[in-house]
């Protein structure tokens, strides 16, 4: 537009075309240099743009903001417990969290952002270009397993909508024909009684909820008994670094106290308005309450460390009673049946990932496979590794209690405690000479404890406990 070029002649048109081609070349070269620069910066751990909620930017790198990161953790925790993004948004706005306006799309973006597990995805929103993922470029706020569970839950929620009826196994039952997660539907009988069903959107297969619950009642009783014990007794052990967490919580309390003094001073000096002061104080109050509750839980963990062996003994005695086919608390008192539908739904949602069923021609239901929530499995694995409790395994149709590796001193101490309740026969065997088939013929309950090696040249040994009943 600025050049005096005659576009009516062939030479003029050619000159215009050359100028536009050169301009386009310069644009594309600049774009390439920018992309290479951004990739190089990210690889060095430099974050490009504004830091996401939960982080601060220091020397071009992301560092965790202690106060904001607690809000991020809470969002993920609430979501994997079944609270929707809309409900989380409403809760955060009521609490005036971080003194900002929360919207469902922001919560949804947080739940999808891999930066919280340390990864940065470049050009994720550009549809015509392949995105690049850079792993480990930021400190993690959320565990990878928790993040993955949230993504699975998001996929389930795509087909979910508000229902008037409560379904115990909502989003958990797999269609016996096509494997799709079945939705809920209900009907009324001529007496006015409501009946719940699970129906497949693809093949229209329909299964009664009562039939599923009836087939699962023994497992549900066991699950309720086991996970109540885990949550109420062993949960403190899931904090792997109590001292570090306590220091972090106390640091947050100090930061909130400083922030409270600063905002009050700013109000006195006329820098902030009264409404802004109230919002900030409301958030600080709520955040201090949540942090103090966490400190209380961590303190309980420290106070119960010395009781680990005692709790492990109690759990094993409980398992021995079950192996002997004696009734135990939950089954004897039919605790599952005493729960209302909302409580049942909450427990199934928390502990069960999905259930595969089979339906015969007479519409009889049988349970094919039950998959436990992956996070709960990881928690159980951690507790087993830390010798908080032992696992019950099945060998040749007989239940056995299997321990993790224990030292000779720990084994002797455990046998001494167990001997107060049972007559114990102990034997030590090399791992290559054990014959479980022969041992199972004995009319005794059996526990297997692998021995820790005192020397790297020692052979693998097992301590077998024959428990006379």
Residues 407, 305 within the same domain: no
Whether residue 356 is found in the same domain as residue 237: yes
Instruction: Single out the residue in 367, 386, 405 at which a domain terminates.
Output: 386
- The top-scoring range by mean pLDDT among 5-9, 90-94, 246-250 is 90-94
Return the H-helix or E-strand segment holding 59.
none
Structural domain contains residue 351: yes
The CATH number covering residue 89 comes to 3.90.1750.20
Per-residue pLDDT at 93 exceeds 50: yes
Type and span of the H or E element at 247? helix 242-268
Q: By the 8 A CB rule, do 202 and 192 touch?
A: no
DSSP single-letter state for residue 467: E
For residues 435 and 429, what is the distance between their CA atoms, to the nearest angstrom?
10
End-of-domain residue from the set 329, 358, 386: 386
pTM of this prediction exceeds 0.75: no
Range with lowest mean pLDDT among 137-146, 326-335, 447-456: 326-335
Share of the chain above pLDDT 90, in %: 17
Model pLDDT, residue 213? 92
Residues 243 and 287 in one domain: yes
pLDDT band at residue 363 using 50, 70 and 90 as cut-offs: confident
Does residue 437 lie within any of the structural domains?
A: yes
Taking the C-alpha atoms of residue 124 and residue 133, their distance in angstroms, rounded to an integer, is 9
Listed residue (71, 158, 154, 148) closest to 117, CA to CA: 148
What residues contact 298, with CB distance under 8 A and at least 6 apart?
A: 236, 239, 242, 245, 246, 249
Same domain, 405 and 362: no
Domain of 271 in residue numbering reads as 205-386
331 and 219, same structural domain?
yes
Q: Where are the beta strands (DSSP E) in 44-142?
A: 55-58, 61-64, 120-122, 132-134
Tell me which residue has tokens 């999808």.
112
User: In terms of domains, do 81 and 218 share one?
Assistant: no
> Is residue 222 in some structural domain?
yes
Please indicate, yes or no, if residue 18 is contained in any of the structural domains: no
- Are 396 and 381 within one domain? no
How many structural domains is the chain composed of?
A: 3
Confidence grade of residue 327 (pLDDT, cut at 50, 70, 90):
very low
The answer to whether residue 438 sits within a structural domain is yes
pLDDT tens sequence across 21-72: 888 888 877 766 666 666 666 666 677 778 899 999 888 788 999 999 999 9
Q: For residue 195, what is the enclosing H or E element? A: strand 194-199
In this structure, are 235 and 328 located in the same domain?
A: yes
Distance between CA atoms of 246 and 300, rounded to whole angstroms?
12
Distance CA 351, CA 194 (A): 26
Task: Grade residue 333 by pLDDT with cuts at 50, 70 and 90.
Answer: low
Residue 188: pLDDT band (50, 70, 90) is confident
User: In what order do the strands lie in the sheet containing 445-450?
Assistant: 391-395, 398-402, 445-450, 461-468, 423-430
Q: How far is CA 350 from the centre of its chain?
A: 9
The answer on pLDDT for 449 being more than 50 is yes
Q: Is the pLDDT score of 193 beyond 80?
A: yes
Tell which residue, 262, 294, 252, 286, has the closest CA to residue 96. 286
| Same domain (yes/no): 350, 399 | no
Q: Cα–Cα distance between 395 and 415 in angstroms, integer?
A: 22
With respect to residue 308, please indicate whether it lies within any of the assigned structural domains: yes
Residue 306 has pLDDT above 60, yes or no: no
Mean pLDDT of 117-135: 69
Asked if residue 427 and residue 283 are part of one domain, the reply reads: no
What tens digit of pLDDT does each residue of 111-120 get? Answer: 999 999 988 8
Q: Most confidently modeled of 93-97, 106-110, 376-380?
A: 106-110
Average pLDDT over residues 159-186: 81
354 and 418 assigned to the same domain:
no
Give the lowest-confidence range in 147-161, 267-281, 399-413, 435-449.
435-449
435 and 380 within one domain = no
The pLDDT score that the predictor gives to residue 326 is 42
Q: Give me the mean pLDDT over the 6-31 stretch.
A: 80
Looking at the domain assignment, is residue 85 inside a domain?
A: yes
Looking at 327, 355, 386, which one is the last position of a domain? 386
**Is residue 2 one of the residues assigned to a domain?**
no
Q: What does the mean pLDDT of the chain come to?
A: 80
* Least confident interval from 97-106, 174-183, 220-229: 220-229
237 is written with which tokens? Answer: 């052990």
Q: First and final CA of the chain: distance in angstroms? A: 100
Is residue 356 very low, low, confident or very high in pLDDT (cuts 50, 70, 90)? very high
């Amino acid at each position: 537009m600025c050049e005096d070029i005659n576009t009516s002649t062939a030479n003029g048109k050619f000159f215009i075309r050359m100028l536009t081609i050169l301009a386009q070349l310069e644009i594309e070269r600049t774009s390439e240099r920018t992309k290479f620069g951004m990739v190089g910066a990210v690889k060095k751990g430099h974050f490009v743009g504004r830091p996401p909620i939960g982080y601060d930017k220091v020397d071009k790198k992301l560092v965790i903001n202690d106060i904001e990161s607690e809000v991020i953790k809470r969002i993920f925790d609430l979501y994997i417990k079944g609270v929707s993004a809309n409900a989380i948004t409403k809760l955060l706005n009521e609490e005036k969290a971080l003194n900002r306006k929360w919207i469902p799309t922001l919560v949804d973006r947080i739940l999808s952002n891999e930066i919280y597990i340390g990864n940065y995805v470049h050009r994720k929103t550009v549809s015509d270009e392949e995105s690049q993922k850079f792993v480990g470029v930021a400190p993690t706020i959320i565990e990878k397993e928790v993040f993955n569970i949230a993504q699975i839950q998001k996929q389930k929620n795509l087909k979910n909508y508000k229902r008037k009826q409560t379904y115990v196994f909502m989003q958990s039952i797999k269609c016996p024909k096509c494997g799709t997660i079945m939705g809920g539907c209900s009907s009324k009988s001529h007496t006015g009684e409501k009946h719940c069903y699970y129906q497949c959107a693809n093949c229209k297969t329909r299964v009664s909820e009562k039939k599923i619950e009836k087939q699962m009642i023994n497992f549900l009783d066991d699950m309720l008994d086991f996970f109540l014990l885990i949550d109420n007794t062993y949960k403190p052990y899931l904090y792997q670094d109590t001292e570090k967490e306590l220091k972090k919580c106390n640091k947050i309390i100090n930061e909130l106290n400083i922030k409270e003094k600063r905002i009050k001073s700013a109000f006195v000096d006329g820098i902030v308005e009264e409404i802004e002061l109230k919002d900030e104080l409301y958030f600080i109050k709520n955040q201090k309450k949540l942090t103090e509750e966490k400190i209380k839980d961590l303190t309980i963990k420290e106070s119960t460390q010395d009781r680990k062996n005692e709790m492990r003994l109690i759990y094993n005695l409980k398992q021995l009673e079950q192996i002997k086919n004696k009734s135990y608390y939950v089954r004897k008192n039919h605790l599952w049946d005493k729960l209302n539908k909302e409580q049942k739904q909450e427990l199934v949602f928390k502990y069960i990932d999905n259930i595969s069923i089979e339906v015969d021609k007479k519409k009889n239901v049988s349970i094919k496979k039950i998959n436990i929530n992956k996070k709960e499995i990881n928690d159980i694995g951690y507790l087993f590794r830390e010798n908080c409790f032992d696992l019950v395994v099945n060998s040749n149709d007989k239940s056995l209690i299997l321990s993790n590796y224990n030292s000779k001193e720990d084994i002797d101490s455990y046998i001494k405690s167990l001997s107060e309740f049972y007559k114990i026969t102990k034997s030590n065997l090399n791992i290559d000479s054990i014959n479980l088939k022969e041992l199972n013929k004995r009319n005794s309950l059996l526990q297997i404890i692998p021995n820790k090696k005192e020397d790297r040249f020692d052979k693998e040994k097992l301590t077998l406990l024959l428990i006379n009943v």
